[in-house]
Structure 1
Amino acid sequence: MADEIVQTPNLYALLIGIDSYMPNILPDGSRYKSLGGCVRDINHVEAFLIDERQVPKERIWKLTASISNPKEPSKPLESPEKLPTRQNMIDAFRKLKEEAPKGSQVYIHYSGHGGRAKTVFPSIKGEDGIDEGLVPTDIGTSEGQYLRDLDLRQLLKELVDKGLIVTVVLDCCHSGGATRGDVEIRGGEGIDDKPLQPGQELVAPVETLAETWRSVTEETPRGLKPSGLRAARDYVLLAACRENEFAYEYAFNRETKERNGALTYWLLDTLRQQNPGQTYNDLFERINAKIHSQFPQQTPISMGEVNRTIFGDEFAEIVHAVPVLKVEKDTETGEMQAKLGVGQVNGVAKGAEFAIYPRTVTDLKNKENRTAIATIIQRGATESLCQLKPIEGQELKIEDGDRAVLVSPSINLVRKVSLVDQEAAKDAFKAIKEALPGNGWVELAEEKVTEDDDEGVAYQLAVNDKGEYEICDRAGHPYKNIAPVKISDPDAAATIVKRLVHLTKYHATAELDNRDKGSPLAGKLILEWLGTSDSFELGDDIPPKSQLNPIPDPSNPTVKKGEYVFLSIQNTSFQDLNVAVLDIASDWSVEQIYPGKGENFITIEAGKKEVIPIPATSGGEDNVKVFATVDQANFRWLELPSLDEEIKPKGINRSGNPLDALLAAIDEEQPPTRKLSVAASPSREWTTKQINLTVTE
């Protein structure tokens, strides 16, 4: 694809690059130093548009300030009308709006300093407000003035209002400081308080600017302003960094030592490898990975219509993915590992699994496109280290900028219990501590919880004022339908440990879900309570819906004990499915309620539905869970008796398939692993869906 010429019809561009900043001393004594890679950025972007996108040169407006003599970097080479002064930039925006026909693509690229100044719009931002914006080449002269955020937002709004499809790239920042090594920062050192000079006109009346700014502020209540632009839904914005970070330029070519902005360099590198149908989100994810691996202090930002195709007007469905930031080899084991841009803040835990897709692939639902499975082995706040496993029959080839889609958040098999600190319960808790070791499923939570303790506490154990053990959820609320156990009972501690093991298995089954959105079965089961009957008996024909008693509130289905309730299961996939129905009951039991003993599943043909009768035999709040598989599987591994009945071995023959092995893990006396991976078998297709039901007396 890199060798092909891709023409982008109807594309217009405005390119602005500033290396040379005229002699300037700002009111606070600071200055904007000249740079070395901004005009090169713009020249490279121009060459890409002309040579590889076939954009006619007359459709490209370019303003640059080049350094004519290294000994005098503050004297630009270009003539005054070609320099990126504030007025020339405004005129170029307006010329672009006049020349580009409605429906055209408009690409705007700025490389230079970003600045911060005391607001000249106190009626809009308040007396202490800050303006952020682009720094023109003549900022230090008496005529020099920032192209401020309100100006820029208004100019972009005018382009959008005409019906132009706008993309903006800002390779600059608003913070500066000392650096080490061969890098430079594209930002100033402080907040300028230079006011507007007499005769310097705003791009629109203050009332218009205020209305434009207010409309964007209402869209983005957090007021995130990368490089001086608030987020908007009507254009694509790629900014080099967050407002408090650095945007670096660096000599990527170690032979010539020619500098480029990090954002621009990786933008062009990625565009040259673009495949049809890729979106700006695809583009951004590789850029982000490349920049962040080299400059951890620089975090690029994308906003707006990022699911729009690159230089196109179509929108792709977004599948939430995270970037592969870095691929490396473990120095001890020699195994390949990857660092993903996801962590604790995203709610993932160690053991979570991600399917890796090449960055050139647009279909993140097709399992055939996967190159590896990444399992989190070390979780950080926003980044996590993963172990890589190849897909059978495929080469393990992963690159920075590839994308990872969550396919299994993992289920804790081994859970932690915390003993609620009570002076009067010391002896009772001592007995629990002695009874816990060796059960395999539940362990005592440490007193000190580390930051990376992603498992957390699943259960709390307390002693109430009646001298009874209480098993509580992680928030400290006692579970219902659990008979009390006196701490004075001879086998009290052993009974509590058995209950904790039972609850752990019960909750593992309740959480079992295939959340792999790439599965062809994802979302293909439709469940519906059709109604109830108090006269139906097993062996009768299933009555039509019109003869059933309707459920008054379908959002909170409630039936009476002794009735039959009818569940419709519809298979909307294109293949036959083997289905089993389990009752996750309020008495802490798990039972396969359909089909009955002697059968493991029923088969529902593609596009068909099955209606099954379920007797409401006991009061409480239950979850009815439906499993569906393409191949055969035995979900009786998951069955549990009610809480205080003895858990007996199932005596089921293992089939040897991965899904049965996964289900059987919950039945083991000792769990084979701390976490259950529901994506353990990428080749098997299965799904599950559940629906709640309340049975009243």
Structure 2
Amino acid sequence: MSQVDRVPDKWAVLIGVDYYEHPEQPITTPRHDGRGNKIEYKILHGCVNDVLAVEQYLVDTIKVDPQHITKLLAPCPGRKYLSQLPVDSYRDASYDNMVDALKVPRGAKRGDFIYIHFSGHGARATTIFPELKDGGADAVDEALVPSDITRGGNYLRDLEIGVLLQAMVDAGLVVTVILDCCHSGGAIRGDDDPEIGETRGIPNIYKSDPERDLPRTIDSIMKFGRQPSWMHTPQGFVVLAACQELETAKETTDKDYTHGILTYWLLSILRNSPVEISSQAIYERICAKVQDSSRNQTPYLVGDRDRFFFSKKLRSRVYALAVRKAHVEPYRVPIDRLVYLSGGKLHGVEEESEYAILPWGFDLGKRFDDTDILGRVQVKKVMPATSLALFILPCGVRWDDIEDGCAAVLQKLPIAKKSTVHFVTPDENLRVNFKKEWDQLHGDRTWLKVNEDNSSPFFTISVDDSGNFKIRDWSGNLTAVIENALKSLPAANADSMRAVIRRLEHLTRFRITKELANPDIGPGTPSGLIRVEVDTVSEGQSVSGRWFPPAEIGEWVPGVYEVPEKTMFRIAIKNQSSRPLGCVVLDCGAEIGIEHVFPRGEPYRILHPGDHEDALFWMEIASEMRVSAQGGIPVVDTLKVFVSDPPTNIDSLRLQGLKEMEDGRRGGDGEMWAQNLEDLLSFLNTSRLAKSLPARGALKADWETFNVKIRIKPSSN
């Protein structure tokens, strides 16, 4: 059997640590924080149960060979667990055993799947890698806590985990990681809640001993250095963590057997779902269930969101809002029932827009028809990160099928928010045929509306001397660089009208995102959340084997910086508010695409009050634009800085380049894919529900954007 035809094997590493303090075993390596306080590692109750339940699911449902499962446990003596625990059925969850278990399994081959699950305490420590981390000696290491932490074991730190998992990715394994712990460790709010359960995190920041705490893999870590790791190149892996920074990971207390809340809902959802369900769909459902169970706990997902958990198959990258609080309050009469959607002002959701709710787990890469729709809703109130929607024609709603995590796909925008289109031609027959074809293809759908009286249209369409459609934007000139790179659309070709509509929809979505701003902040009214500055770097840097010298920054026109391509500059972002903010930078590129450029591989970077972040950038001109750029046509990108409280994932605002869309290409993996913009219609899946935030002094806005416009000066080569 060839490597291509071989059925991939499945592997698993399952780690559960309940028992940290061992009264009968003396403490040989006590841990203290920076103030000299001894750190205590409380006994947990559900971590071993997590592993046993996950093992049962993997063996019974996913058909993982039990011989391919490595199980590390630290059970409490005398406690009753889901199944018996013969001593020879597992190894101790010590530091050394965890490091060994996270190596590429012996016998694993390229294309195999490996599932890694950790349930236990998460912690933070002062860094032992100051030369490798931003912040130097002031940085912290996030860590998993082994069972022997007070008896000679070390924290399993983030960079060591990164090196171990990177080796799996390099070996061609498809990696899924579940961390049911306070993975950020510190800054825990509050104590254990008796109604919810124990907290899986250590609030103290351990003061590291640089000599004693060096990891076994230190040589690999130093060799790996600052190269992009598995955390920054999200291909071939999925990581689902129990909570975000500043939050707690909790255990259940009201079940027959205690579990971590994340693990409990993960297994509950997987057991009632088809095997090929995407990580994103699972994540949306988990978020809703976890937040119903535990205050201040929002699961966190990075990696291949579109990949199915135990498959290489990728869904089409279609973005939809998720339904939240889907219980639709059955005591209300149908006409008064409502749901919340996971997108708000920050994501461009508009009042009076309409969404179709589809069954949970529905493959959004497929076309859907009226029989698939559970109900239609209209947005009535838009809040910062969530929206409230009422049902349209409630008598036809399939109430019992609407669940948390169902996808809500945008069907109609209010007329005032659409881009108006005017067709300009002296030929009346051509104008009539244009309108007829437009109507037959439902051109007046989500983003667009034909305006026949030519009153301030955003786009005008005409037919040039060669008989091709010509598109101009409101300024009278669609970017010449793009226009020269795109294929012509002959007006006489029946398929061209469909392509024109897709092109206009893509341009409209780009414009809406690029112009997105908090409507509660008037022009010239600073919110006070952040300060943004643009500057060069003190010296050049090597990134992934490429050298970028410091940029010489000038002003091209007022408000627009000029930076030579392939040179490095920085955007300094300071949180000058009194609350933590999530920070993201999007590049709204001249090739009419939107890319998440900071932070790499993470949905956002947390900036604590007073924190200062230097985001480094270099710009390059796309190949299809180079000839035009060197001919003098300006290439201008907008780097759009977002900050929000609560921190919010805005990755669904990403948009592939216009030429990529029209060529039907998926960047990076060579797969052909059809990104039908009729389906790609809605914005962000947020990672939490909006909370009501009290006004704090003059800081009334809870999200803000700042645009940095960069003209890229082409190099001669």
> Are 1:398 and 2:402 matched, yes or no?
yes
Aligned to 1:568: 491
**TM-score scaled by length of structure 1:** 0.55
Q: What is residue 173 of structure 2 aligned with on the other side? A: 164
> Secondary structure in 1 aligned to 2:324?
strand
Distance in 2 between residues matched to 1:116 and 1:78, nearest whole Å: 31
How far the C-alpha of 1:79 sits from its partner, in A, is: 7.7
Output the amino acid matched with 2:329.
Answer: K
Query: 1:115 aligned to 2:123?
Result: yes
Distance 2:39 2:59 in 1: 39
Map 1:372-391 → 2, pairs under 5 A: 372-389=375-392
Residue 137 of structure 1 corresponds to 147
Tell me, in whole angstroms, the C-alpha distance in 2 between the residues paired with 1:322 and 1:166: 26
Q: Distance in 1 between matches of 2:413 and 2:294?
A: 30
Paired with 2:271 and 2:388, the residues of 1 have a C-alpha distance of 29
Cα contact 2:96–2:153 (8 A) shared by 1 = no
Indicate the residue corresponding to 1:26 in structure 2.
Answer: 31
Residue type matched to 2:173 in 1? L
- CA gap of 1:77–1:203, structure 2 versus 1, over 3 A, is farther
Pair 372,231 (structure 1): closer, same or farther in 2 beyond 3 Å: farther
What stretches of structure 1 move > 6 A for 4+ residues in a row?
Answer: 548-551
Matched, 1:14 2:21: no
CA distance in 1: counterparts of 2:88 and 2:214, whole angstroms: 21
* Structure-2 separation of matches of 1:181 and 1:399: 28
The code of the aligned residue for 1:270 comes to I
Deviation (angstroms), 1:129: 1.2
> How many angstroms does 1:549 deviate by?
13
| Alignment match of 1:514 (pick from 422, 433, 445) | 445
Contact 2:252 2:261 in 1 (8 A): yes
Could you tell me how far apart the structure 1 residues matched to 2:349 and 2:212 are? 56
Contact persistence 2:278–2:309 (CA under 8 A): yes
Is 1:245 matched with 2:178? no
Write the distance in 2 (CA, Å) between the matches of 1:180 and 1:391. 39
Tell me if structure 1 keeps the 8 A contact 2:163–2:224: no
- Name the aligned partner's letter for residue 248 of structure 2: F
Q: Structure 1: any 5+ residue segments left out of the alignment?
A: 1-7, 220-228, 414-511, 518-525, 533-543, 558-565, 579-684, 689-697
Provide closer, same or farther for how the CA distance between residues 150 and 556 of structure 1 changes in structure 2, counting only shifts above 3 A: closer
User: Which one of 52, 56, 62 corresponds to residue 43 of structure 1?
Assistant: 52
Distance 1:268 1:367 in 2: 31
Structure 1 position 189 matched with structure 2 position 203: yes
**Residue in structure 1 matching 2:62, options 47, 50, 53:** 53
Please give the per-residue CA displacement for 1:38-94, whole angstroms capped at 9, x wherever unaligned: 1101100000011112211101000011111469xxxx9958981111110111122
Could you say which residue in structure 2 is the equivalent of 1:329?
Answer: 329
Please tell me whether the aligned partners of residues 351 and 377 of structure 1 are also in contact (alpha carbons under 8 angstroms): yes
Q: Which amino acid aligns with 1:370?
A: I
TM-align CA RMSD: 4.0
Q: Counterpart in 2 of 1:278?
A: 277
Change (3 A) 1:389 1:262: farther
Distance 1:238 1:527 in 2: 46
- Paired residue secondary structure (2:409): strand
Q: How far apart in 2 are the matches of 1:46 and 1:80?
A: 12
Measure the CA separation in 2 of the matches of 1:289 and 1:570: 48
The letter of the residue matching 1:45 is V
1:349 is displaced (CA, Å) by 2.7
Aligned mates of 2:496, 2:330 — CA distance in 1: 42
Shift of 1:284: 1.1
Q: 1:294 to 1:209 in 2, by over 3 A?
A: farther
- 8 Å CA contact retained: 1:529, 1:554: no
- Answer yes or no: is 1:320 the counterpart of 2:330: no
The answer as to whether partners of 2:20 and 2:149 remain within 8 angstroms in 1 is yes
The answer to whether 1:99 aligns with 2:101 is no
Instruction: Please say if residues 106 and 167 of structure 1, whose CA atoms lie closer than 8 Å, have aligned partners that are also in contact.
Output: yes
Aligned residue in 2 for 1:344: 345
Given residue 27 of structure 1, which amino acid in structure 2 is its aligned partner? H
- Relative to 1, partners in 2 of residues 1:359 and 1:180: Cα closer, same or farther, differing over 3 Å? same
Shift of 1:240: 1.0
**How far is 1:356 from its partner?**
0.8
1-side partners of 2:90 and 2:145: how far apart?
17
- In the alignment, the residues of structure 2 paired with residue 237 and residue 339 of structure 1 have an alpha-carbon distance, to the nearest angstrom, of 26
Amino acid of the residue matched to residue 347 of structure 1?
Answer: G
Classify the secondary structure of the residue corresponding to 1:329: coil
Shift of 1:33: 0.6
Q: Following the alignment from structure 1 to structure 2, what is the Cα–Cα distance between the partners of residues 187 and 11?
A: 30
Partners of 1:231 and 1:382 in 2: CA distance: 27
Letter in structure 1 aligned against 2:283: F
Structure 2 counterpart SS, 1:342: coil
Out of 125, 128, 131, the position equivalent to 2:138 is 128
Residue 303 (structure 1) aligns with: 302
In the TM superposition, residue 375 of structure 1 has moved relative to its aligned partner by 1.9
Aligned pairs for 1:639-678 within 5 A:
none
Greater radius of gyration (CA): 1
Pair 1:49–1:573, CA change in 2 (3 A): farther
Q: Is the 8 A contact 1:286 1:400 kept in 2?
A: yes
Task: Give unmatched runs, 5+ long, in structure 2.
Answer: 1-6, 418-442, 449-458, 481-488, 502-677, 682-717
